[in-house]
Every structure is written in C-alpha cells, then in structure tokens.
C-alpha cells in the first residue's frame, strides 16, 4: 500500500492502544474476592492418588500397582482392566465424561486428545466404557509431532503408554493419564521416556555406591524442586503486540525511563489484581496435587515467581508442565497473558526455571545433606565430589541441555548465569575439598592418617545448611542440601536438563564404583579407596569450581584461561550431540539411542531456525506495516504544519519551524535506515531458502539476528520522535508497568 504523505484522519490503531489502557485501568481497580478455605481440605482432590486408589481398588490390586510404581514391574492385562475400572468409577464420580492420554512431545508443550467414555450400543442404548487397554496404550494420530526423521524412516504410527508412577488427574471433565510417547519402533518421541530411564540409571548407580555406606539402601530417588519465573502482561496490550503474541518477546520498543534500576519490584507487595490471579491458579494447582507453596514478585517489573515443595523428579516435572498450563488458562480468566519466554523484554531481567536437584534414599537420607558423623559425611562428600566431577567431564552436554532460542538472550546477559558452566560450593565446602585434596597422602595411609581425616570430615559442620552463602551468579550452585541448576530457561521442559544431569551423574557414579573397587582389589581398605578416589576427582575437576562473580567480564577471561567452554548460542551448543563419546554414554546407560539423539538434535536445530524465522518475518511486517506508516503519518502532519507556516510566514517559516524541519528530516533518515535493514534481512532470508536446517540456524544466529537488532535501533529512534498519540504499538513502559 502506498503511504499517504498527506496524513489522513485519526487511525483506528491509535484508538486501540488508548482503549486498551482504559480497559486496564478499570480492571486494575476491581476488587478481588478470596476463598479462605483450608488448602488441606481440597489438596489433591482431582488426583487419583495412592490414597484414592486404596479406596477404589481391591487390596491385592492396590499392592500390585504399588509394586509396579515402586519397582517398575509390569502390569498384566487383567490387572490393568481392574485398575481402569476403579479409575473410571472415581473419575465418573467426579463428573468426568472423557479421558485422554496426556504426554509431552518434543514441541515443548503438552498434548492431549480427548475420547469419550460413552459408547453407543447396537440396541440404541449407551454405556460408559474404559478398559485396561484404553488405560495402558493409545495410538494418537500424532503424525505431525516433531520426530526428527524417526517416523518418516520407519513407521508413521506413534503410541502413548501409561506411566503408572505419575497419578492420573482430572481437568474439567477429562480424566488425564500421564503417558510416554514412542514411535512404532519403540523410539522415544517425548521427554518423559528418557527422563524415566535417566532416573532409573542414576537410581541403580547411586544405590550401588550407597552400599559402601549403608546396606539398607535399595532405591535412590531424584528429587526436583523447580522455581518458575514468568511475566504478566494485560491481554488488551498483548493483543496489540503481534511480536509478543507470536514470538513471546518484544522485537521493538524503546527502553522505558524506568526499568528495574530502583530495585523496587523484587519481593515488593503483590498488586491486588495479580494476587487474585495467583490465588486462583494456586487453588487450581492444589486441586491437581501440585504442591505450590511460594509466590513473590521477581526483579523485573511485572515479573513473578511460583515454586512448589520439591517432589520425585518425574512427578515434579509433570507438575511443572501442568502448572504452566494452569497458569496460561487462569491468566486468561484474569485478562492477563503469561509470558514464559526467557527474555520478553530487553533491558530488564529475563526468566529462568531453577532446577533444585538432590538424591534421596529409601532410608530417608538426602545424599546431598551433610551428615552427623564421619561416615555419613563421607557419603555426602562422595556424592558432592562425583557431581562436581560429572559436570567437569560433561559441561558441554549440560550446556546443550539448556540451549534454546529464548535462553540465548538470557545466558550471559549480566543478569543470568553465563553460558560457561561452573560450580559454586560455598566457603566451607570448598575448604573441605581443598583440605582433602592436600591432606590425603600419596602412599599407604596409616590408621592415624585415616582417623585424622575422618575426624576432619566429621567436623564438616551440620550448620553448613544454614550457613551456605548464596552465589546467585553461578549456573550450578550448592545450596546447603541440594544443587541448584540456575541456567535452565523458564520455558523449558525440566526433563531436558534432568535427563542430562542424571545421566552424567549416573555415568560418573558407575565409574567411581569401578575405580574404588579396583583400589580395594589392590589392597586398599574401603575408606582409603574412597578417599583416594575422591582426592583424584577433586584434583581433576578443580577448574570447574568458581566462587566469584559469574556475571563479570573477568570471569569470561578467567574461564577461557582455565579451558572452560563458553558456548554463547544454541547452534554452537547443540553440536555436542554429534560427539561420538556423548552418544556412546547415553547409549551405554540406555537413556537415549543414537537415533534418538540424532532426532533430538535435528528437532532442536530446526526449531531454532524456525523460531528465528518467525521473529525475522515479524520484524519485517511490523516495520513495514506499522512502524513506517505511523512514522510517515506523523511526518506528513509536520509537513502540513510546515506548509501552513510557509503560507503564513513566507521565507521565515524555516526559522520558525526549525524543530519540525529537523524532526521531519530525522524521521526520514530513520525510516530509510529501518527500511534498508528490512531489505537486508529479506535478502539474507532469500539466500537460505531450501538450505539445510543447520545452515538456516547458523545464518539466523550469526547474520540475521544482528540485523534484527539494528532494525530495532532505527525503529526505537522513530518511537522516540513520533507523537505518542500516533504510535500503534503498546510501549515498553505500558507493557511493564500496567497492571
Ligand atoms: P530460593 O532458591 O528461592 O532461595 P530455596 O532454596 O529455599 O529458595 O528453595 C528452592 C527450592 O528448592 C524449593 O522449591 C524447594 O522445594 C527446593 N528443594 C529443597 N530441598 C530440596 C531437595 N532435597 N531436592 C530438591 N529440591 C529441593
Ligand atoms: Mg532458588
């Protein structure tokens, strides 16, 4: 459409932005009501929990199911039929009419396809039917889920299989059954299957190591406590930002005068309207058995956090996926949009999803909590040191596990941990590791040596828990009784990080067991063998430990000196999945096959390219269809004004209208600059048509993304000049401060 240089009447777009702001004012002042009911009265009401199972299943079936949940034994058809009958009865008593297999395909969100319990009969009647086979296995027509070539090469079908370790739940009128999602050939097409396998492998490896310390340990569970950060934006404004709606982040927008520099949002009082939203989603979460306990304002304006009590990792991850869904739905009811993107707004903090991780035994011991005596402390140190060593050996895989287009904006942005993987242990634990490193003698240890060392270890203060200093700039920090993996992105499925972390720790523990046993075979006693092996690992992995400021430039230099990787972007980070040694490790531990790893790599690379492509298209559209026309409109107004001035003042108009003249000129220059950048973006895009996903990702990352940033600079300069009334897009200050 040819731009109208004459200016024209008032535009509809302009009105939209003002109407939106008015609407929001009314919403913000509306009062909220709260229900004061005790949470314990309704917690888990919509979950087919073990407690409910006991009520709806015969005793022997209940025991069989529990055995299956606790030890991964198989459930036979007959048993499944009975469980399905009990589940149906419970679900129907709660008004459920449909059921769905609920799964986590590699799209990053959850998927469901609802089927009715109701079945018509030939004689005109109908019954409600739900059999064991329907519970155990379904074949969703899921051919358009990402598969990285797995389906194309083999078979198009996919299956969902019941995961009995995560209880079924009801949302609305639908019974949801957590399932894994696999191809006809048995390849994982989801996050849950490899997660369960990784948890199994760390269980086996950790249980074996625990035998050195306590023969009663026969199971080790991974515990996960995630902290979910998010932004809220009023939906009236969200609707007027195609970039937010389609990419989750703003691609244009002048930095507001006030961002987070006054640090007045963090832990501040929660706005009434936001609190009403929080109370409602917490209520919904509690019905679903998600144990959310914590809510607070985060650092950036309009940024918040929710965290639950930690749980077994597979369940915790299901709960995180479910909660993200609950947040989205509840937000809509409150006229909010919830943003999970890692960096929706330039200039203020992004969002993460800290993964608090620990290992806990069937005997009730958290292996990452310092013990009360030398023996339990040696066990604690064994797990800490092996975790540190696992990350040292596999830092690049851990980095790849958190890679994603959104997290690229956050990692290393001086408000989130850098892309360099390092570990923070705190003063005391560090001192203990240094002590072990120095004080274990090379030769045969005397009984006195050992006693002294153990005494020292025993002194590792129980108060460590209360004393751990918090270093919030570390991507992976020990926090008293757990490690906190802080680099995980807010939109991520925790499984990605958890699959990797548990696999590399399992791999390390298996090696540790072998090495300690070898030392014992050569004549060391058990404690001596453990201590010497720990010393070796402490020495080996020293360079990954860093106590200083992870946000500083100096660390980047220091890390380079230490030889640590710093992979700043996703396409670079993902390359580790092509490493034969990495593939061999995942295969050996039976977590992922090489086909599955390859498929995942393809999917993630393609996803990166596609997401950047959408962003680039929007930069072009918004620039050409909204920003340039609005700027020209304003320019026309000024030109009209100058023409009027000329009519009235003659030659003197240049002096009188000097400001207008200058603005008209600057507008012209910035419009041209923006148009030029858009042109280059389009040209670069046309060059990669039909190129391989790897090339596409790399070009978007290295060429087009910087051009998009430059386009934004020109657009933001226009925003600074154009009449506020005429600007079509809700501004950053409105997005960040209106609610
Ligand atoms: P913050 O990191 O915000 O200061 P905390 O350290 O108190 O908060 O707790 C963060 C999270 O750590 C909580 O969600 C909690 O459930 C989780 N957490 C505590 N203990 C464990 C554990 N043993 N395993 C896994 N997560 C844990
Ligand atoms: Mg935390």
Quick check: CB of 358 below 6 Å from ligand 1?
Answer: yes
Centre of ligand 2 to C-alpha 229, Å, is: 11
Tell me, what's the pLDDT at 12?
47
Tell me, what's the pLDDT at 437?
92
Largest CA distance in the chain: 105
Tell me, what's the pLDDT at 32?
47
Quick check: CB of 465 below 6 Å from ligand 1?
Answer: no
Mean local confidence (pLDDT), 34-48? 86
Tell me, what's the pLDDT at 371?
83
Q: Count the residues in the chain.
A: 739
Q: Do domains 199-592 and 607-737 have the same CATH topology?
A: no
Provide the CATH topology of domain 607-737. 1.20.120
pLDDT-derived band at 309, boundaries 50, 70, 90: very high
Q: Are the CB atoms for 442 and 518 separated by under 8 Å?
A: no
What is the full DSSP assignment across 544-594?
A: GB--S-TTSHHHHHHHHHHT-----SHHHHHGGGG-HHHHHHHHHTTS--H
Q: What is the CA radius of gyration of the chain?
A: 29
How far apart are the C-alpha atoms of 420 and 488, rounded to whole Å? 13
Centre of ligand 2 to C-alpha 544, Å, is: 21
Sign of CA pseudo-dihedral 723, 728, 733, 734: positive
Q: Where are the domains of the chain?
A: 50-190, 199-592, 607-737
Q: Which residues contact 161 (CB under 8 A, 6 or more apart)?
A: 136, 137, 179, 180, 182
Quick check: CB of 307 below 6 Å from ligand 1?
Answer: yes
pLDDT digits (tens, 9 = 90+) for 490-510: 999 999 999 999 999 999 999
Tell me, what's the pLDDT at 461?
59
Q: Exposed, middle or buried, 546 (CB in 10 Å: 0-12/13-18/19+)?
A: buried
pLDDT-derived band at 8, boundaries 50, 70, 90: very low
Q: Which residues contact 152 (CB under 8 A, 6 or more apart)?
A: none
Structure token pair of residue 738? 């209106």
Q: Which of 202, 224, 225 to mutate to test the pocket of ligand 1 (most atoms within 8 A of CB)?
A: 225
The residue whose CA has the least distance to atom 17 of ligand 1 is: 225
pLDDT digits (tens, 9 = 90+) for 122-166: 888 888 889 888 998 888 765 677 887 776 554 567 889 999 999
How far apart are the C-alpha atoms of 375 and 382, rounded to whole Å? 11
pLDDT digits (tens, 9 = 90+) for 563-589: 999 999 999 999 999 999 999 999 999
257 — phi, psi (to 5°)? -60, -40
pLDDT digits (tens, 9 = 90+) for 331-358: 999 999 999 999 999 989 999 999 999 9
Query: How many Cβ atoms are within 10 Å of 73's Cβ, its own excluded?
Result: 12
Considering only 356-360, 468-472, 602-606, which range has the smallest mean pLDDT?
Answer: 468-472
Mean local confidence (pLDDT), 657-680? 97
Q: What ligand has the least distance to the C-alpha of 470?
A: 1
Q: Which CATH number fits domain 50-190: 3.40.50.300, 3.40.50.11400, 3.40.80.10, 3.10.20.70?
A: 3.10.20.70
Tell me, what's the pLDDT at 9?
41
3 — phi, psi (to 5°)? -65, 150
Considering only 191-205, 254-268, 278-292, 567-581, which range has the smallest mean pLDDT?
Answer: 254-268
Mean local confidence (pLDDT), 225-246? 96
Q: Which of 311, 482, 485 to mutate to test the pocket of ligand 1 (most atoms within 8 A of CB)?
A: 482
Structure token pair of residue 437? 């490193």
Is residue 721 classed as helix, strand or coil in its secondary structure?
helix
Q: Which residues contact 175 (CB under 8 A, 6 or more apart)?
A: 87, 88, 91, 96, 98, 99, 100, 168, 169
Residue 216 vs residue 146, higher pLDDT: 216
Q: Which CATH number fits domain 199-592: 3.30.300.30, 3.30.590.10, 3.20.20.140, 3.30.1360.120?
A: 3.30.590.10
Q: What is the DSSP letter of 164?
A: T
Q: What is the mean pLDDT of the chain?
A: 90
pLDDT digits (tens, 9 = 90+) for 511-568: 999 999 999 999 999 999 999 999 999 999 999 999 998 988 899 999 999 999 999 9
């Amino acid at each position: 459409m040819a731009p109208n240089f004459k200016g024209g009447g008032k535009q509809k777009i302009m009105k939209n932005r003002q109407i939106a702001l008015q609407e929001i004012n009314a919403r913000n002042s509306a009062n909220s009501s709260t229900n004061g009911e005790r949470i314990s009265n309704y917690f888990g009401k919509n979950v087919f929990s073990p407690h409910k199972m006991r009520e709806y299943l015969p005793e022997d079936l209940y025991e069989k199911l529990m055995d299956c949940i606790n030890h991964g034994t198989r459930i036979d058809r007959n048993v499944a039929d009975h469980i399905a009958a009990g589940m149906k009865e419970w679900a129907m008593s709660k008004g459920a009419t449909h059921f769905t297999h609920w799964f986590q395909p590699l799209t990053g969100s959850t998927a469901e396809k609802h089927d009715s319990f109701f079945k018509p009969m030939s004689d005109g009647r109908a019954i409600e039917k739900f059999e064991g086979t329907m519970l155990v296995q379904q074949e969703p027509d899921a051919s358009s889920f990402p598969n990285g070539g797995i389906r194309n090469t083999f078979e198009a079908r996919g299956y969902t299989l019941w995961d009995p370790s995560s209880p079924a739940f009801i949302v609305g009128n639908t019974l949801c059954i957590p399932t894994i999602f696999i191809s006809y050939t048995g390849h994982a097409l989801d996050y849950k299957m490899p997660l369960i396998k990784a948890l199994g492998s760390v269980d086996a490896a950790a249980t074996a190591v625990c035998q050195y310390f306590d023969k009663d340990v026969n199971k080790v569970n991974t515990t996960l406590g995630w902290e979910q950060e998010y932004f809220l934006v009023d939906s009236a404004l969200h609707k007027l930002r195609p970039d937010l709606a389609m990419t989750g982040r703003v691609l244009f927008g002048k930095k507001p005068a006030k961002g987070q520099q006054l640090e007045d949002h963090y832990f501040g009082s929660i706005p009434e309207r936001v609190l009403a939203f929080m109370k409602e989603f917490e209520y919904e979460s509690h019905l679903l058995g998600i144990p959310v306990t914590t809510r607070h304002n985060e650092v950036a304006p309009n940024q918040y956090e929710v965290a639950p009590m930690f749980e077994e990792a597979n369940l915790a991850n299901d709960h995180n996926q479910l909660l993200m869904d609950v947040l989205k739905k509840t937000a809509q009811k409150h006229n909010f949009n919830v943003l999970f993107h890692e960096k929706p707004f330039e200039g203020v903090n992004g969002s993460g999803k800290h993964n608090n991780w620990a290992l806990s035994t069937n005997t009730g011991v958290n292996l990452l909590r310092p013990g009360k005596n030398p023996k339990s402390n040696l066990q604690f140190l064994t797990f800490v040191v092996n975790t540190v060593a696992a990350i040292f050996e596999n830092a690049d895989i851990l980095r790849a596990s958190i890679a994603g287009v959104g997290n690229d904006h956050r990692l290393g942005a001086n408000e989130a941990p850098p892309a360099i993987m390092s570990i923070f242990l705190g003063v005391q634990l560090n001192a203990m590791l240094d002590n072990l490193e120095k004080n274990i003698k090379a030769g045969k240890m005397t009984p006195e040596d050992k006693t002294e060392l153990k005494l020292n270890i025993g002194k590792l203060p129980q108060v460590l828990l209360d004393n751990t200093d918090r270093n919030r700039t570390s991507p992976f920090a020990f926090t008293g009784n757990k490690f906190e993996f802080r680099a995980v992105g807010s939109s991520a499925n925790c499984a990605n990080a958890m699959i990797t972390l548990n696999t590399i720790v399992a791999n390390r523990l298996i090696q540790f067991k072998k090495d300690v046993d070898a030392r014992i075979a050569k004549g060391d006693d058990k404690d001596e063998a453990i201590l010497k092996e720990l010393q070796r690992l402490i020495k080996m992995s020293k360079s990954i430990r860093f106590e200083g400021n992870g946000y500083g430039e100096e660390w980047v230099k220091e890390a380079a000196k230490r030889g640590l990787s710093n992979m700043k972007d996703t396409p670079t980070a993902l390359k580790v999945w092509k490493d034969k040694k990495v593939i061999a490790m995942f295969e050996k531990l039976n977590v992922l096959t090489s086909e599955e790893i390859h498929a995942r790599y393809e999917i993630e690379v393609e996803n990166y390219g596609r997401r950047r492509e959408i962003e680039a298209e929007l930069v072009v559209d918004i620039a050409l269809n909204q920003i340039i026309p609005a700027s020209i409109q304003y320019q026309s107004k000024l030109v009209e004004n100058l023409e009027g001035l000329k009519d009235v003042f003659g030659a003197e108009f240049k002096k009188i209208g000097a400001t207008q003249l200058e603005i008209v000129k600057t507008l012209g220059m910035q419009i041209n600059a923006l148009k030029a950048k858009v042109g280059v973006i389009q040209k670069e895009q046309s060059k990669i048509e039909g190129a391989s996903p790897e090339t596409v990702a790399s070009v978007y990352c290295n060429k087009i993304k910087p051009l998009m940033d430059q386009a934004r600079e020109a657009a933001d300069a226009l925003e600074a000049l154009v009449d506020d009334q005429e600007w079509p897009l809700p501004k950053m200050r409105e997005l960040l401060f209106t609610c």
